[in-house]
């Protein structure tokens, strides 16, 4: 029942007003004249609309007539408009009345119309979701009138973030003096020389950064695109390579005449791959361009048949913007080379055909070869005899080799079979015994998945030798001679036929039929066993820790391969947020694990890594986040006048790592300031290494 209502009752005697004074929702009206009564509600309880007018008959037969009046809740309309500071409509917002479930701009027109009860008290209208790219507007209060429309306008400010740009060399050290433009605008320049530029109040979204002026002495680099998020500082690093020079090489013979055709030249920095060219310029020289400043070894790597390679390389210094000229003499072959006829025999004196070998110089130079019986360089067709010409004079060890499955060379028995001395202008003859050849062979067993063709690890096999050999993939007893997963290599097996049985299938896989291996002395017999998978998925658990092994909460990871993303899971997904992230029902195979969110801005993201998922197994990986580096500026001042800076001071930072000493002026500006960059987090002692004359 609703109390507090009032009504006008009209009849032949006039119109009379009655109210529910006791608030119980019932009004008794006595002494009503007989006839038709017109009942009109003049007042209703707050929050309810007036009821429609009704009529009721009071007669002699029905003197106690009863009338029920139903009040519907009073409702008004609220029209919520979202606009930018220029009063342009903004689509996509969601609003809430008094904290209730939000209602959204589903038609994307920037206007939301709500039906709100008119309670007679102020209602709170809040923007639960702001339009994309804008900050939420402030909450407003309104009074909703029944059957009226109230307009509420939310003005949203554009959301912004910032961008920190670092100019650095390949080692990550800051480079001063760069100018960078944002989206083609006016460039911002590194006037303070710290290598860092900060773009503030950048609208959220995708932006392009261009290195307009590279740091002095470096090359320009390509533009970078970055996405800016609200209230987040994005990081961009422009890595600039040094400005380059060139090398001009002239190859000449002993008479000082240029040698061009059939010549290849290479230059190489320490611990770097060589750069080679075999194309001469029109002048018959060899030019290398875009060479970074520094010291290089320049060498001849190929010469015509009438010449031999020089014994050593030539060192040259390349200066930015300049060309370094080098002249290298290529010796005539007749002056430094001889030949050899090598007769290879087994331990019982029989000729050994098909031998391959390297010649290892006693002086530690580069090996010669590979040479093979009846190969390209063998001048004698007799099996077991290898005749070579054009060998540099000197003493060599004969190292017998064979091809491995990667196309490289592996030492056969890891022995130097003999030592030979090559004399200029002479062909020597020598018998070389091949130790232990054609006595035993080996068996290589590869286990693969029947469907995927991928190698499967964890199998064990038995070989039916006189004393059966049981060997497991990557076991610890040394029986398996290869560390390659899914491959077992057993040597020392006498020539003959053997049964190989799969005694323990890999976890999650079926067995396979026995196979016969025929072992030939000095050879490897290859067997491949195909196994069927009985379980096609596994589980991955990622343990996120810091440098000291403490769990870090709040990270997110994505698991993906060339076919796309399998899943992205955050630490909070299991409700624990405890540094453990679990991927369940992951298909068997190789996946890339990518950290999509670090535990916090103070941590550096870790590189992506490859994860192997095994059938019905749980793979656990530990991912360690380290703190991001910081920096330190030391300002040196006069104790009596702190406004006066003292220049030319030097400081050393000593702690978990030592930095410096660095001096005022290392950043090319003498101003009483010493700068330390890229300092690892921790506690350090600041030690003054050199101070201003006239001060303690």
| 440-531: CATH topology | Immunoglobulin-like (2.60.40)
Q: Report the mean per-residue pLDDT for the chain.
A: 88
> Tokens 């000493």 correspond to what residue?
661
Question: Would you call the peptide bond into 141 cis, given omega within 30 degrees of 0 as the criterion?
Answer: no
Give the model's pLDDT for residue 539: 92
Nearest to 99 by CA among 123, 75, 118: 123
CA distance 571 to 556: 6
Look at residues 498, 500, 494, 499 and name the one whose alpha carbon lies nearest to residue 520: 494
Please tell me what DSSP assigns to residue 334.
G
For the chain, give every residue range classified as CATH 2.60.40.10: 75-155, 160-239, 248-331, 336-433, 440-531, 537-624
The predicted structure's pLDDT at residue 40: 92
DSSP annotation of 33 = P
Contacts of 155 (CB under 8 A, 6+ apart): 83, 84, 85, 137
pLDDT single digits (tens) 314-362? 999 998 878 999 999 998 876 778 899 999 887 757 677 888 889 999 9
The continuous run of DSSP H or E covering 16 comes out as strand 14-19
Residue with token string 């749980």: 618
pLDDT of residue 412: 55
439: left (phi over 0), alpha (psi -120 to 50) or beta: alpha
Instruction: Give the CATH number of domain 537-624; options: 2.40.110.10, 1.10.3480.10, 1.10.3720.10, 2.60.40.10.
Output: 2.60.40.10
CA distances from 485 to 36, 274, 533 (A): 101, 33, 17
For domain 248-331, give the CATH number.
Answer: 2.60.40.10
- What pLDDT, on a 0 to 100 scale, did the predictor assign at position 437? 64
User: Distance of CA 121 to CAs 6, 47, 98, 124, 157, Å?
Assistant: 21, 9, 12, 10, 30
pTM over 0.95: no
- CATH for 336-433 is 2.60.40.10
CATH class label, 160-239: mainly beta
Q: DSSP string covering 615-649, please?
A: TT-EEEEEEE--BPPEEEEEE-B-SS-TTSB--S-
Instruction: Please say if the pLDDT value at position 406 is more than 50.
Output: no
How many whole angstroms separate alpha carbon 455 and alpha carbon 448?
4
CA dist 309 and 306 (Å) reads: 10
CATH architecture, domain defined by 75-155: Sandwich (2.60)
The pLDDT tens digits for 637-692 are 888 888 888 888 898 999 888 988 989 888 788 788 988 888 888 889 999 887 76
Q: What is the DSSP string of 481-509?
A: ---STTEEEEEEEESEEEEEEEEEPPTTB
Query: The tokens of 321 are what?
Result: 């913007």
What is the rounded CA–CA span in Å between residue 162 and residue 160?
A: 7
Strand 205-213, strand 224-228: pairing: antiparallel
Instruction: Note the pLDDT tens digit of each residue in 229-239.
Output: 888 999 999 99
pLDDT at 553: 93
**Residue 197: pLDDT band with limits 50, 70, 90:** very high
Residue (of 302, 256, 252) closest to 279 by Cα position: 302
**Per-residue model confidence as pLDDT tens digits over 546-599:** 988 999 999 999 999 998 999 999 999 888 889 999 999 998 889 999 999 999
What are the tens digits of pLDDT across the range 141-162? Answer: 988 887 888 899 999 988 889 9
């Amino acid at each position: 029942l609703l109390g507090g209502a009032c009504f006008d009752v009209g009849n032949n005697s006039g119109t009379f007003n009655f109210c529910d004074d006791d608030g119980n929702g019932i009004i008794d009206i006595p002494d009503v004249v007989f006839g038709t009564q017109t009942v009109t509600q003049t007042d209703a309880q707050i929050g309810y609309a007036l009821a429609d007018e009704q009529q009721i008959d009071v007669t002699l037969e029905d003197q106690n007539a009863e009338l029920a009046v139903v009040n519907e809740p009073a409702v008004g309309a609220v029209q919520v408009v979202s606009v930018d500071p220029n009063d342009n409509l903004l689509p996509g917002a969601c609003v809430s009345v008094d904290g209730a479930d939000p209602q959204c701009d589903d038609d994307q027109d920037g206007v939301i119309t709500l039906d709100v009860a008119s309670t007679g008290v102020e209602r709170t209208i809040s923007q639960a979701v702001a339009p994309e790219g804008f900050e939420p507007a402030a909450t407003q209060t309104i009074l909703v009138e029944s059957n009226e429309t109230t307009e509420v306008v939310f003005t949203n400010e554009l959301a912004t973030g910032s961008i920190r740009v670092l100019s650095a060399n390949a080692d990550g050290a800051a480079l001063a003096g760069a100018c960078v433009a944002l989206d083609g605008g006016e460039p911002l320049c590194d006037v303070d020389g710290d290598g860092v530029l900060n773009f503030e109040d950048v609208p959220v979204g995708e932006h392009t950064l261009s290195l307009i002026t590279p740091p002095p002495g470096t090359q320009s680099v390509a533009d970078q695109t970055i996405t800016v998020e609200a209230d987040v500082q994005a990081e961009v690093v422009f890595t600039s390579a040094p400005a380059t020079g060139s090398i001009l090489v002239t190859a000449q013979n002993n008479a000082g005449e240029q040698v061009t055709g059939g010549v290849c030249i290479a230059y190489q920095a320490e611990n770097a791959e060589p750069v080679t060219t075999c194309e001469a310029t029109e002048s018959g020289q060899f030019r290398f361009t875009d060479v970074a400043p520094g010291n290089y070894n320049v060498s001849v790597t190929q010469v015509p048949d009438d010449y031999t390679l020089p014994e050593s390389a030539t060192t040259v210094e390349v200066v930015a913007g300049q060309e370094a000229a080098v002249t290298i003499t290529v010796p005539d072959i007749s002056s430094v080379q001889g030949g050899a006829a090598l007769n290879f025999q087994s331990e019982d004196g029989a000729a050994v055909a098909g031998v391959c070998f390297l010649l290892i110089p006693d002086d530690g130079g580069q090996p010669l070869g590979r040479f093979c019986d009846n190969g390209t360089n063998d001048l004698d067709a007799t099996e077991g005899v290898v005749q070579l010409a054009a060998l540099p004079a000197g003493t060599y060890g004969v190292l017998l080799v064979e091809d491995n499955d990667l196309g490289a060379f592996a030492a056969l028995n890891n022995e130097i079979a003999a030592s030979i001395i090559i004399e200029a202008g002479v062909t020597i003859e020598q018998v070389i015994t091949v130790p232990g050849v054609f006595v035993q062979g080996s068996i290589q067993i590869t286990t693969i998945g029947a469907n995927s063709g991928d190698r499967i690890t964890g199998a064990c096999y038995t070989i039916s030798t006189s004393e059966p050999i049981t060997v497991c993939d990557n076991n610890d007893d040394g029986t398996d001679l290869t560390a390659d997963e899914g491959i077992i290599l057993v040597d020392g097996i006498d020539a003959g036929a053997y049964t190989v049985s799969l005694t323990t299938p890999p976890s999650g896989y079926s067995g396979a039929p026995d196979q016969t291996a025929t072992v030939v002395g000095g050879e490897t017999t290859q067997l491949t066993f195909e196994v069927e998978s009985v379980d096609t998925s596994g589980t991955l658990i990622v343990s996120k820790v810091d440098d000291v092994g403490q769990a870090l909460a709040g990270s997110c990871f994505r698991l993906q391969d060339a076919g796309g993303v399998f899943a992205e899971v955050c630490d909070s997904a299991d409700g624990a947020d405890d540094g453990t992230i679990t991927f369940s029902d992951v298909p068997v195979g190789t996946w890339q694990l990518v950290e999509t969110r670090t535990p916090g801005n103070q941590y550096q993201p870790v590189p992506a890594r490859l994860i192997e998922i095994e059938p019905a197994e749980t793979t656990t990986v530990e991912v360690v986040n380290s703190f991001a580096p910081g920096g330190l500026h030391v300002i040196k001042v006069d104790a009596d006048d702190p406004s006066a800076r003292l220049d030319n001071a030097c400081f050393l930072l000593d702690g978990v790592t030592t930095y410096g000493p660095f001096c005022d002026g290392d950043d090319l500006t003498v101003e009483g300031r010493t700068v330390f960059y890229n300092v690892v987090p921790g506690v350090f002692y600041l030690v003054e290494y050199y101070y201003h004359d006239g001060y303690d």
